[in-house]
């Protein structure tokens, strides 16, 4: 689950332009489900018995599940145990990690560190393909503009925020809430400013039912210590991704420095001397990215019917465009920079394909129906709660129905934001120029939009063409090839010709010509790229504006409903994930699949079997240093294992520890059975977290990479 577990890829999905995606396909025609009546555009599901733990086991440290852990795993987790767990774990950009020695050694996934592995390469080196190992301390290489965050303090700021919110009129509560959060965060930042290395983040829990201020210590001198080759860190490639059994050495080691010396943390996780066996309790400490387990059934139905399919189509088409550009000339700087982007997009493609299936699965959605009905029954027991929260559930359902009527227009401009890698610069400029013209009466807004247009950078001409074809394919997926708008855009020409003509005749094709065009209203109105958007008429903008307004209302209602969830269940359930530190419990366990049984762990024997069973297939070709296996390499050593821990995007790089808080694994993926459902429900039947086994890490470091210095450091940490 490299994207599922890796927020920088979800980064690709959410931070840059908020899109998602699914399995590869040539054409993605998006249609709502067939309905016997026109009363609803959304599917309905019959209830299936559920459990309160359907909401998951992503526990926060401020509401530590002491009794649940004690009863479930027969040990006494003290406050000191939770403190050590929290302080030994770290958060890195988009991923998770952990201190694993007394000298600031940090462990995370290889796929979390691809950009950094590439960055530290010197002229003539290919550190991503060939790997890197610092033989001595002085060989460790500084990573520019990178950081590691350690959660050092948690403050409950609920009353500071909700007291103000409750005192405000209903229509002002959203803005009051935002201002209160901003002020609390600013006040705490000033309070800890004397440290010089603190970052404060106010986190909404239970969708606004509670608020915590997380105070992180930020380390900014981070150096690369060891990374294996891409081929072994991503063994099996896209085909094996999100599968199990698995044979992947997805690990990387950094070191934190303070004052130019290795940092000596008070807390760290030592590597366990022995690994795990089936049935052992294990704990993942990481930063799960985002879940929707407190969403209503109506929200989930809309997501699976409209939101995910449209975003899926866009991702699929983007991958096609970027791959076509890479094949055109893989030696260009742009092509090389897109390499990691394509990796991430393909991960998300599988992930969101699974989500579409899960959001339409009668069993899983039936459990959510039952879960919601239980929640409503609890609200009905209290007249005050009933009056406050049942109208919100009803209104959220109405919003989903209205949003469904706005598609596909509300999705047709996805990705069209300044300097997005996902869309052509030409269309970015033209779309914002259209918005500028529509807002001409608002001088300040119009000027702001103009500045955004001017900020759009040129792309490589061939990349620009491929992305234009990408956008046309995306529109055709949503509208259908015979739609009048598609016919008007193409006038019988293929997309390749349409793209060429737009580049040739539109002044928006380059930043330089755009500057001239913005000063000539007559030419601006006649530009073919402006005509491109004019094809769709007023409905494109009215539907988009209405969809945006509904989304704002929905967000506010969901925040209010979160207080209802907390009022009913308190901390007996965990809040939705927010890419903030959590502890997630589970056990090591195989599972039934494909008519057989997946073992709890795999070994190096299986790794070499994959290699020899796929002769001539690059995804399973082992790096040179692995061939032939060195005689000292014990092929029976476990390399990966699976467990029932509840993980999601952002958990990539999370330490997997035993009851003694010793490293037994490194979480890097989820199996295909967990791929789609994990955002909105915990399904323990066969959903599993996949981790690199501590035994495989030590065995490969010692016998394949001859990384004696690191092995000795890890083993001495046990003492």
**Is the Cβ–Cβ distance between 619 and 236 less than 8 Å?**
yes
Closest CA to 21 of 3, 5, 7: 3
**Is the Cβ–Cβ distance between 657 and 283 less than 8 Å?**
yes
Closest CA to 415 of 373, 329, 473: 473
Q: What is the pLDDT of residues 681-692, one digit of tens each?
A: 999 889 999 999
Q: What is the chain's mean pLDDT, rounded? A: 92
Query: For 23, which DSSP code?
Result: S
In the structure, what pLDDT confidence band is assigned to residue 38 with cuts at 50, 70 and 90? low
Q: What is the pLDDT of residues 567-590, one digit of tens each?
A: 999 999 999 999 999 999 999 999
Query: What b-and-e string marks burial along 253-272, b requiring 16 or more CB atoms within 10 Å of the CB?
Result: bbbbbeeeebbebebbbbbb
In the structure, what pLDDT confidence band is assigned to residue 356 with cuts at 50, 70 and 90? very high
Closest CA to 91 of 568, 536, 652: 652
Distance CA 91, CA 152 (A): 12
Distance CA 65, CA 565 (A): 18
Centroid of chain to Cα 643: 21
Residue 228: the pLDDT is 98
What average pLDDT does the segment 445-468 reach? 95
User: Does an H or E element contain 568, and which?
Assistant: helix 537-569
Residue 410: the pLDDT is 92
Query: Which residues contact residue 238 at a Cβ distance below 8 angstroms, ignoring those fewer than 6 apart?
Result: 346, 347, 350, 619
* First CA to last CA distance, the chain: 34
Q: Is the peptide bond before 259 cis (omega within 30 degrees of 0)?
A: no
> For 51-55, 94-98, 350-354, 639-643, which range has the lowest pLDDT when averaged over its residues?
350-354
**Residue 11: is its pLDDT beyond 90?**
no
Residue 121: the pLDDT is 96
Distance CA 322, CA 325 (A): 5
Counting beta carbons within 10 angstroms of the beta carbon of residue 239, is it exposed (0 to 12), middle (13 to 18) or buried (19 or more)?
exposed
**Residue 404: is its pLDDT beyond 80?**
yes
- Residue 201 in 3-state DSSP? strand
**Is the Cβ–Cβ distance between 352 and 677 less than 8 Å?**
no
What average pLDDT does the segment 125-134 reach? 96
Residue 286: the pLDDT is 98
Closest CA to 82 of 101, 69, 97: 69
């Amino acid at each position: 689950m490299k994207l599922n577990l890796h927020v920088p890829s979800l980064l690709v999905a959410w931070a840059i332009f908020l899109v998602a995606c699914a399995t590869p396909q040539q054409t993605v025609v998006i249609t709502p489900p067939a309905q016997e009546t026109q009363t609803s555009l959304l599917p309905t599901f019959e209830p299936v018995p559920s459990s309160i733990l359907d909401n998951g086991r992503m526990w926060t440290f401020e509401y530590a599940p002491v009794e649940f852990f004690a009863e479930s795993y027969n040990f006494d987790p003290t406050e000191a145990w939770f403190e050590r767990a929290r302080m030994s774990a770290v958060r890195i950009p988009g991923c998770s990690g952990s201190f694993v020695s007394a000298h600031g050694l940090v462990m995370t996934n290889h796929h979390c560190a691809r950009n950094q592995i590439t960055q530290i390469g010197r002229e003539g080196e290919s550190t991503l393909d060939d790997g890197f190992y610092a033989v001595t301390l002085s060989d460790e290489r500084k990573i520019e503009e990178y950081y590691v965050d350690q959660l050092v303090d948690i403050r409950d700021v609920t009353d500071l925020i909700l007291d103000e919110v409750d005192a405000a009129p209903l229509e002002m509560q959203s803005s009051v809430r935002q201002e209160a959060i901003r002020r609390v965060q600013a006040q705490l930042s000033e309070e800890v400013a004397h440290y010089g290395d603190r970052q404060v983040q106010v986190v909404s829990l239970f969708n606004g039912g509670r608020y915590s201020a997380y105070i992180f210590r930020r380390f900014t001198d981070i150096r690369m210590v060891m990374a294996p080759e891409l081929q072994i860190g991503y063994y099996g490639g896209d085909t094996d991704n999100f599968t199990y059994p698995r044979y992947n050495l997805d690990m990387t080691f950094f070191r934190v420095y303070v004052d130019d010396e290795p940092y000596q943390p008070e807390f760290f996780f030592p590597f366990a001397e022995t690994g795990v066996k089936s049935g052992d309790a294990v704990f993942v400490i990481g930063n799960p990215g985002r879940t929707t387990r407190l969403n209503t059934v109506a929200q989930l139905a809309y997501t699976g019917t409209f939101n995910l399919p449209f975003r899926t189509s866009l991702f699929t088409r983007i991958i096609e465009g970027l791959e076509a550009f890479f094949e055109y000339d893989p030696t260009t700087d742009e092509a090389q920079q897109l390499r990691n982007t394509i990796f991430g997009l393909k991960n998300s493609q599988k992930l969101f394909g699974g989500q579409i299936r899960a959001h339409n699965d009668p069993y899983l959605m039936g459990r959510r129906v039952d879960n919601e009905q239980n929640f409503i029954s609890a609200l009905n027991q209290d007249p005050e709660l009933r009056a406050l929260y049942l109208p919100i559930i009803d209104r959220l359902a109405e919003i989903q129905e209205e949003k469904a009527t706005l598609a596909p227009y509300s999705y047709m401009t996805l990705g069209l934001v300044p300097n997005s890698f996902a869309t052509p610069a030409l269309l970015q400029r033209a779309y914002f120029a259209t918005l500028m013209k529509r807002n001409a009466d608002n001088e300040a807004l119009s000027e702001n939009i103009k500045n955004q247009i001017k900020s759009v950078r040129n792309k490589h001409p061939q990349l620009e063409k491929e992305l234009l074809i990408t956008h046309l394919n995306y529109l055709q997926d949503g509208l259908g090839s015979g739609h009048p708008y598609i016919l008007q855009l193409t006038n019988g020409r293929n997309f390749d010709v349409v793209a060429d003509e737009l580049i040739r005749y539109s002044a928006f094709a380059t930043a330089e010509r755009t500057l001239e065009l913005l000063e000539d209203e007559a030419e601006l109105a006649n530009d073919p790229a402006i005509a491109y958007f004019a094809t769709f008429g007023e409905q494109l903008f009215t539907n988009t504006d209405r969809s945006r307004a509904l989304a704002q209302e929905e967000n506010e209602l969901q925040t209010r409903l979160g207080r209802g969830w907390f009022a009913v269940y308190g901390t007996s359930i965990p809040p939705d994930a927010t890419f903030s530190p959590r502890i997630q419990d589970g056990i090591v366990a195989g599972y039934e699949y494909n008519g057989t049984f997946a073992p709890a762990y795999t070994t190096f024997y299986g790794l070499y079997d994959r290699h020899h069973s796929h002769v001539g297939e690059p995804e399973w070709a082992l790096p040179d240093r692995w061939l032939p296996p060195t005689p000292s390499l014990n092929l029976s050593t476990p390399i990966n294992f699976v467990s029932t821990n509840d993980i999601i995007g952002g958990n990539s790089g999370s330490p997997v520890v035993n009851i003694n808080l010793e490293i037994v694994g490194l979480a890097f993926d989820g199996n295909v059975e967990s791929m789609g459902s994990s955002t909105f429900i915990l399904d323990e039947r066969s959903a599993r977290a996949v981790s690199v086994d501590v035994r495989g890490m030590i065995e490969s470091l010692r016998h394949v990479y001859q990384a004696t210095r690191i092995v000795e450091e890890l083993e001495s940490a046990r003492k």
